[in-house]
A and B are shown apart, each in its own frame.
Chain A
Amino acid sequence: MASKLTTSNAAGWAFALPGFGLICLFIVVPFFLAFALSLTNQRLISPNPTEYVGFANYKSLLSLAVITLEPERDEAGEIVRAEDGTLVYPRVRTITRNPDFPEYRGMREWFRWHSGDNARVVVAADVVFMKALVNTLTFALVIAPGQGGLALLLALLINQRLRGINIFRTIYFMPVVVSIVVVSLLWRFIYDGNDGLLNNILSSLTFGLFEPIDWLGRTDTALGSIIAMSIWQAVGFHMVIWLAGLQTISPTLYEVAQIEGASKWQTFRYVTWPGLRNTAVLVLIVITMQAFALFAQIDVMTNGGPLDSTQTLVFQAVERGYGKQDISGGSTISVVLFLIVLTISLIQRYLTRERS
C-alpha cells in the first residue's frame, strides 16, 4: 500500500489518538517521570514535600573509590604477620568512618586485591547495587550468545526434512507458553538440594558418584542455575525466529552450493549465515533486553540470595521503589538500567550493521 489517498487530519487523529494517547500516558510519561524522580527524594507516601536533590541519588548509587591499605607495622617498623603468616591490615571502617576522609563516608568494601605488601580495597557507596549490576551484566552476557546460539542449533536441527519433525518442533517450543513464574517454581523443586530431581538424575547417571549440590543455595551455582533454567524456558521462542529466517533463504542458493561441492560447514558459513544477518540482530537485541529485565526468576527462586549472588537491577529497583517505598531510589536504578539497555542495543546495532 503505497499511495495515501487524501489528507484527512481530523479522522486520522481521531483513529490514532486512543491508542497513541494510552502509550503516551502509560509509557512515555512514566519514562520521563523516571528521570525527573531520580533527581528528587520522592517517596510513595510521605508527609514531607518532595525536594529537588540534584544528582545525590546517583552519587549514593554509583560512587566508587579505591583505598590503598598498608599493612600494620609494629613499633620497630616491621610488618606484623598473623599466626598463619598473612599480613594484617587496618580495618576499612577506620577510613570510611574517619572524619579526615569525608569523601569515603558511608562506603563499604566491595572487593579487594593485593599489590606488593599493600591491599587495594574497592569501596562502593552501594555494594548491593554493584553486585546487582555485575550479576545483571553477567546474566545478559552469558544468555545472549548462549540462548541465541542454542536456539540456532535447535532451528537447524528442526529444519531437516524428516517425517514427524513437527512433533519435535511442537515439543521444543512448549516451555515458551508456560509462565516463567510457573517454570521458576518447578525448577526450584528440580534444583532442590535434598529431594531435587536434578541431583537424583545426575546421581543415577554417574552410578552414585555425584555429590548432591544445593544448586540455588550456593553462591557459585545459584546464578548459573537461573541462567540454565531461563534458557530452557525461552530458547524455543528464538528457535522459531531463526526458523523463520532460515526459510527466507532461497533454496536455489543451497542447490548452487551443492553443485559447487561445498561442505556442510561451508554451506552454513557462506549461504546460511549471511542470510540470517537481520535475524541475528533481532534475536540478540530481544534476548538482551529481556535479560536486563530479569526479575520473576529471582523473586520466586532466591530473593537475590545467597549473599546477594543473584541480586539484579530490576529486583533492586523493586525492592527500593516498592519494598522501601523509596520511589526516587527505584527510579534512579531504572534510569541506569535503561541507559545500559540503550547503549547495548546501539552497540549491537553498530556491530551487526550492513557492511557496504
Chain B
Amino acid sequence: MAVVSQDNRGLRLAVRYLVLALVAIVFMFPLVFMIISSLKPTQQLLSDTASMRAFLPVGDISLDNYFAAFARAPVELFVFNSILITVITVSASIFLCSLAAFSFVYLNWRGSGLVLSIALATLIIPFETIAIPLLLFVSRLPWIGMNGIEIGWLNTYHVQIIPWIADALTIFLFVQYFKDLPGELVEAARAEGASWWQIYRKVVMPLSGPVLATAAILKSLKMYNEQYLWPLIVVQDEAHRPIMVGLGYFFQLDVAWGEVMAYLSVITVPVLVFYLVLQRAFIASIASTGVKG
C-alpha cells in the first residue's frame, strides 16, 4: 500500500511539473525566438522557422543584424530619447505625486477630501479617450524656448513628459502607503517644531522605500514600454522620436526581419534583465496595485 501511494505521489509531482513546464514554454517561445533570430541572416531566419532550428543558435550566427540596424536608423538616438523621457517623467512624477499624497493624508486643509476625490476619479478616464482633444490642446499651448515665446508643443521632449507626470494611480499608491505609516512620528516631529517640508523630506520619505520602488517600476514601464499612441501623434521629427515609434524605420518596402529582431532585442533585453534582477520588486509592485484597490 505504502509503496503504491509513494509511486502515485511521485507521478503526480511529475505531472505537475510537466504542466508547469508546458505553460512556461508557451510564455517563453516568442522571446527566445526573437533573441535567437536577431543573430541570424534574414534568409536563414525565414527558412529556420520550419523546424526546431528556429529556437536554436545554429548556422550563420553573428551580430551583423545589430550593426545593420544601427546603420539603418539612429537607434542610439531613439534609445537616448526614451531613457531621457522616462527618467525625467518618473522622477518628477514621484516627487509631485508623493508631495500631493502627503498633503492629502497629513495636512488637514479645507477641501482636501474633495480635491483627492477629483484626482482619483480621473482613474476612470482612459488616456485613449482624451488623446485627440489633448492633441489640439498641446498644439495651442505656449512655451518659452530659446527664441522667446513659441506657440505649440508638437515635436518636443516636453510634450512627451509634462502631460504624463501627474497621474491618479501614483497618488493613490502614496496615499495608501502614507495612511499605514505610524502617525505618531509625524506628530512628534511637528511638536518639535519641524516644518511640513522637513517632515516630508526627513521623516516620511525615508520610510517610503517600498512605495517608491513600486511607483518607479510601474511608471518606468509605462513611459518606456507603452509610449506609442501619444508620440505617434505629437512627434513627427526624428530628433525627439522614442523607441517604440522608431520601429517604423524597419518597415519600408521589404522588411529585413533579422534587423527587426535585432532592434526588438536592443529595446527589450535591458528591460528583461532589469526584471530578472529585480523580479521580486516587480511582482510586488503589481500586486500592490490590486490588494488595496
Q: How far is the CA of A289 from the CA of B166 in the complex (A)?
A: 20
Q: How far is the CA of A181 from the CA of B260 in the complex (A)?
A: 12
Q: Could you say which interface size class chain B belongs to?
A: 35 or more
Q: Is the CB of B103 within 8 A of A15?
A: yes
List chain B residues, Cβ under 8 A from A196: 49
Q: How far is the CA of A44 from the CA of B233 in the complex (A)?
A: 12
Q: Is the CB of A321 within 8 A of B135?
A: yes
Stretch at the interface among A89-97, A114-122, A264-272, A331-339: A331-339
Question: Contact check: which of A3, A11, A278, A334 meets B133 at CB < 8 Å?
Answer: A334
Q: Is the CB of A1 within 8 A of B105?
A: yes
Q: Is A132 an interface residue (CB 8 A)?
A: no
Most buried by B among A165, A174, A177, A244: A177
Question: Whole-angstrom distance from the CB of B35 to the nearest CB of chain A?
Answer: 11
Question: Whole-angstrom distance from the CB of A36 to the nearest CB of chain B?
Answer: 8
Q: Is A65 an interface residue (CB 8 A)?
A: no
List chain B residues, Cβ under 8 A from A244: 287-288, 290-291
List chain A residues, Cβ under 8 A from B137: 29-30, 33
Question: Whole-angstrom distance from the CB of B88 to the nearest CB of chain A?
Answer: 14
Q: Is the CB of B293 within 8 A of A282?
A: yes
Q: Is the CB of A179 within 8 A of B268?
A: yes
Question: Contact check: which of B109, B125, B139 meets A7 at CB < 8 Å?
Answer: B109
Stretch at the interface among B61-69, B73-81, B112-120, B208-216: B112-120
Most buried by B among A1, A173, A278, A283: A1
Residue of A nearest to B271 (CB): A177
Q: Is the CB of B33 within 8 A of A178?
A: no
Q: Is B127 an interface residue (CB 8 A)?
A: yes
Residue of B nearest to A292 (CB): B126
Residue of A nearest to B137 (CB): A30
List chain B residues, Cβ under 8 A from A26: 134, 162-164, 166
Residue of B nearest to A153 (CB): B23
Interface residues of A in 184-215 (CB under 8 A from B): 185-187, 189-190, 195-197, 200, 204
List chain A residues, Cβ under 8 A from B275: 174, 177
List chain A residues, Cβ under 8 A from B110: 7, 9
Question: Whole-angstrom distance from the CB of A316 to the nearest CB of chain B?
Answer: 11
List chain A residues, Cβ under 8 A from B31: 174-175, 178, 186
List chain B residues, Cβ under 8 A from A44: 135-136, 139
Type the 1/0 row for B134-165, where 1 means its CB is closer than 8 Å to any CB of A: 11110100000000000000000000001111
Q: Is B228 an interface residue (CB 8 A)?
A: yes
Residue of A nearest to B109 (CB): A12
Q: How far is the CA of A84 from the CA of B233 in the complex (A)?
A: 51
List chain B residues, Cβ under 8 A from A181: 225, 228, 244, 247
Residue of A nearest to B123 (CB): A289
Stretch at the interface among A55-63, A72-80, A98-106, A232-240: A232-240
Q: Is the CB of B107 within 8 A of A8?
A: yes
Question: Whole-angstrom distance from the CB of B170 to the nearest CB of chain A?
Answer: 9
Q: Is B237 an interface residue (CB 8 A)?
A: no
Most buried by B among A20, A172, A338, A341: A20
Q: Is the CB of B282 within 8 A of A28?
A: no
Q: Is B11 an interface residue (CB 8 A)?
A: no
List chain B residues, Cβ under 8 A from A278: 293
Given A186-B30, A236-B27, A327 and B136 touching (CB < 8 A)? yes
Question: Contact check: which of B30, B125, B226 meets A338 at CB < 8 Å?
Answer: B125
Given A289-B126, A330-B132, A174 and B27 touching (CB < 8 A)? yes
Most buried by B among A6, A42, A248: A6
Residue of A nearest to B244 (CB): A181
Q: Is the CB of A168 within 8 A of B108?
A: no
Question: Whole-angstrom distance from the CB of A66 to the nearest CB of chain B?
Answer: 30
Q: Is the CB of B226 within 8 A of A179?
A: yes
Q: Is A263 an interface residue (CB 8 A)?
A: no
Question: Whole-angstrom distance from the CB of B41 to the nearest CB of chain A?
Answer: 14
Q: Is the CB of A37 within 8 A of B196?
A: no
Q: Is B183 an interface residue (CB 8 A)?
A: yes
Given A12-B103, A185-B264, A186-B33, A162 and B108 touching (CB < 8 A)? no
Q: Is A347 an interface residue (CB 8 A)?
A: no
Q: Is A13 an interface residue (CB 8 A)?
A: yes
Q: Is the CB of B132 within 8 A of A34?
A: yes
Q: Is A293 an interface residue (CB 8 A)?
A: yes
Q: Is A143 an interface residue (CB 8 A)?
A: no
Q: Is B8 an interface residue (CB 8 A)?
A: no
Question: Contact check: which of B135, B260, B276 meets A185 at CB < 8 Å?
Answer: B260
Question: Whole-angstrom distance from the CB of A176 to the nearest CB of chain B?
Answer: 8
Question: Contact check: which of A15, A27, A169, A299 meets B125 at CB < 8 Å?
Answer: A27
Given A181-B228, A189-B257, A240-B286, A318 and B49 touching (CB < 8 A)? no
Q: Is A68 an interface residue (CB 8 A)?
A: no
List chain A residues, Cβ under 8 A from B103: 11-16
Q: Is A262 an interface residue (CB 8 A)?
A: no
Question: Contact check: which of B49, B118, B128, B283 meets A197 at CB < 8 Å?
Answer: B49
List chain B residues, Cβ under 8 A from A1: 105-106, 178-183, 186
**10 extra A-B contacts, CB within 8 A, seeds A289-B126, A321-B135, A330-B132:** A1-B179, A1-B181, A37-B136, A172-B24, A179-B268, A204-B51, A232-B27, A282-B290, A318-B233, A320-B132
For this complex, 7 residue pairs linking A to B, each with C-beta atoms less than 8 Å apart, are A11-B107, A22-B96, A27-B125, A27-B168, A182-B268, A241-B286, A321-B233
Binding site for B on A (CB under 8 A): 1-9, 11-16, 18-23, 26-31, 33-34, 37, 42, 44, 154, 157, 160, 162, 165, 168-183, 185-187, 189-190, 195-197, 200, 204, 232, 236-237, 240-241, 243-245, 248, 278-279, 282-283, 289-290, 292-293, 295-296, 299-300, 314, 317-318, 320-322, 327, 330-331, 334-335, 337-338, 341-342, 345
Top 5 A-B pairs ranked by shortest CB distance?
Answer: A12-B109, A321-B132, A19-B100, A4-B108, A15-B103
